[in-house]
Amino acid sequence: MRPSLCLFLALAGLGCGASVTPSTAPPADVPSTAADVPVVPDVPPPPVDVPVVALDVPTVLMDLALGEPCERDAQCASGVCAQTPGVVSGCAQPCTDDEACLATSSLLACVLDRAPGGGRLVCGQVAGAKIDRAGACTLDTECLSGFCLDDLCHNACVDDSVCLAGWHCGAQPVGARSVQVCRATPIIGVTVEDFVLFEGLSTVDRSTMPLDVVAPPDTVSLTWVTQDLAGPDLFASVTNVIAPDSRALVDRRSWSSLREQQIRTIPSRLQINGATFPGRDMEPMVPGVFRSAHALLNNRTGTPVATRRMRALVRVKRAPGGVAANGWTLRLRVIISGVVGLNATNAPTNVRLQSAFARMRAIYATAGVNLFVDGYADLLPADAARFATLDSTDELQALFQRTAGITGDVLPIFLVRGISSAAGLENAIGIAGAINGPPGIFGTVSSGVVASWDNTFGRNDDLLPQVLAHECGHYLGLWHSMERLAACTTAGQADCSLWGGVDNLTDTPATMAGAARNLMYWTTSGSNELLSAGQGLMMRGNPIIH
C-alpha cells in the first residue's frame, strides 16, 4: 500500500493540521520511536492497486459462415460481406452466374452487390424482386439479379450461352470495378446484327416454342425471318410476334384480309417470310423482350412433308439514340440478263441506266436514303437466254434464286429484256420478290427485284427510274399508297385489295388524286416520285440500309 500523504508530510517537518515544535530528545516518559521509522527513499511511489475492470467489447469472429450477419468482408470465411440495400445481407459466396448459386440453393441467384470498392457478384437474394433478365425496371431492387441498367434487368454471365438473343456477355462498369453481365454491345454508329433463334429439324405445320430477343434502348428495328433451308416448295411463316407489353404484333391465327395487324405482313410465303417492327410510322420502338414463333407449312397442292430443316432468325438494327437517321445508304447489286447491248462491262457508262440511277438517287434523297451501286454482273449465257424474257411465275422465282453466292447487305436488281404479258404477273413492268424482301439473304425465290429494260420505255417518258425506285421501295417494306382493286369486304373474297386497299402509314395521301402522285402508287405515269416522311422512316428502318 502507498503510505498516506499525512505520514510523508510529517516526516518532512510539516504538520497535518496543527503546528508541531521540534525538540532534540524525546520526553523521558515516552519511548523513543525514531529508530522504528524507516528512511523513505526518494523514488516514485508504487502503482495504486486498482482492480481491473473488463470492457464491454464483443468478441469479433473472422471466419463467419455463409449467411451469418457481418459488417465487413474480413469477418467472412468467403471474404465477402454483402450489404447492398435490398440484397439479403450477410456473408456471401462470390459467383459468376446463376448456375453457380443454384448448386448451393434453389433460392439463390447471382446478384449485384454494390460494395464501397465497386460492384461485384455474390450468391444472394433480392427481397421482393420479381423481374427476370431483360424485364423492364426502374430500381435495382425490382430485379432478381439486383441490377437495373437502362431500364432493363441484367443477369450475370460467364459467356453468351446464358444471354438472350440481342445481348452478349461483357464487362459492365459498376463503380470502381466491372462485373460480367449480359448486355448490349456498345455501338458508335448504325449497327446490324443477326441472332439465330432456331436452326434444325422442325415439325411441319407446327410452330416453334416462343423464342426471345432483347431490344436494347437504342434499337431502330427488329426483323424476324423464317426460312425453309431444304428448298422452295413449303411456306415459311413468322406465325406470332409478341411485344414486351404483351401486344400481339403478328398472329397468324387471327390474320385475315380485313383485319390489320400491328406489323403488316402476309404470314406465309414460299420458302422465306419476314416481319419488321416498327411496321407503321406511328409505332414507337419498345425496349425489352420480344417473343416470336415460326413454322414451315405444307403447300396444300404438293405432297405433304412431316419434318423439314428450318432457320428462324432476327436482325437487330441499332443506332445512337435509336434514331433512324437520314443519310444511311442502300447498296444495289445489278445483274443483267439478256438485255441487248447492255452488259456488266459497259453498264457503268450506259447513259440510260446511269440516268435512271441518278433519278432514283434524287427520289430516295428526299426520304433521307443515299444510293450506291456496288457492282454489276452478267448471268451465265444459258441463264441469260432463259431469263431474258420472263414468261411465268416459276421463271421469276428461279431467277431470284440465281442470287445464291451474293454476300453483304445489298439489294439485287435484275435487268431483263422483258416481262411477258402472258406470264400471269398482272402485266407488270417491274416486280419485287416480296414486300419486306429477304434482308441480306440470297438464293431464295424472293431475293431481289426485277425491271424490264424494254417494257419501261414509256410513250413520252422513260419509266425505268420510277420502276426501279418503286420496286426497291416494296423490297424495303413499302406497300402501295393506294391499290388498283377495291378493298376486300369479306375474308374469303378474291380479286380485291387487302386491308382497305391503302398502305399502313398515316402521312400518305388517302385520296386517289394525292395517292397517284406518290412513288408507291400502284402504277406509274413517269412523274409520280413523292415519298412521305413516314415512308422514309420505314425505309431507313430496314436492316439492309445503313
C-alpha cell at 2: 502507498
DSSP reduced 3-state for 347? helix
d(CA 23, CA 477): 131
Taking a C-beta distance cutoff of 8 angstroms, is the pair 502, 483 a contact?
yes
Q: Which long-range contacts (CB under 8 A, 24 or more apart) does 381-384 make?
A: 383/337, 384/336, 384/337, 384/338
pLDDT at position 30 is 42
Residue 509, preceding bond cis, omega within 30 degrees? Answer: no
Half-sphere exposure (Cβ direction) of 240: Cα atoms closer than 13 Å:
17
Reported as type and span, the H/E element at residue 98 is helix 98-102
CB 236 within 8 A of CB 305: no
Classify burial at 217, counting beta carbons within 10 Å of its beta carbon; exposed 0-12, middle 13-18, buried 19 or more.
middle
Angle at 276 between CA 272 and CA 280, to 5 degrees: 140
Nine-digit cell string for 533: 416522311
User: What is the residue-level pLDDT of the chain in tens, covering all 546 positions?
Assistant: 333 333 232 323 333 333 333 444 444 444 444 444 444 445 455 555 545 444 444 545 678 998 899 989 999 999 999 988 878 778 999 999 999 898 888 888 999 999 888 999 999 989 899 999 999 999 999 999 999 999 999 999 999 999 999 999 999 999 999 999 999 999 999 999 999 999 999 999 999 999 999 999 999 999 999 999 999 999 999 999 999 999 999 999 999 888 889 999 998 899 999 999 999 888 899 999 999 999 999 988 888 999 999 999 999 999 999 999 999 999 999 999 999 999 999 999 999 999 999 999 999 999 999 999 999 999 999 999 999 999 999 999 999 999 999 999 999 999 999 999 888 888 899 999 999 999 999 999 999 999 999 999 866 789 999 999 999 999 999 999 999 999 999 888 888 999 999 999 999 998 999 999 999 999 988 889 999 999 999 999 999 999
Identify whether the C-beta of residue 225 lies closer than 8 Å to the C-beta of residue 274: yes
Q: Are the beta carbons of 295 and 226 closer than 8 angstroms?
A: yes
Q: How far apart are the first and last CA of the chain?
A: 97
Residue 320 to residue 183: CA distance in whole angstroms: 16
Contact (Cβ atoms closer than 8 angstroms) between residue 73 and residue 80? yes
Q: What is the 3-state secondary structure (H, E, C) of 429-462?
A: CEEECCCCCCCCCCCCCCCCEEEECCCCECCCCE
- Around Cβ 244, how many Cβ atoms within 10 Å? 17
Task: List, in order of start, the domains of the chain with CATH numbers.
Answer: 73-183 (no CATH), 191-322 (2.60.120.380), 328-541 (3.40.390.10)
Q: Phi and psi of 103, rounded to 5°? A: -65, -25
Q: What is the pLDDT of residue 319?
A: 98
3-state secondary structure of 237: strand
Strand partners, 318: 191, 219
Q: What is the CA radius of gyration of the chain?
A: 41
Q: Are 469 and 432 in contact (CB under 8 A)?
A: no
Question: Is 351 in contact with 310 (CB distance < 8 Å)?
Answer: no
Question: What does the block give as the cell for 429?
Answer: 413492268
- Take residue 256 and report the three cell numbers written for it: 385475315
How many Å apart are CA 257 and CA 298, to the nearest integer?
A: 21
The owner of cell 462485373 is: 179
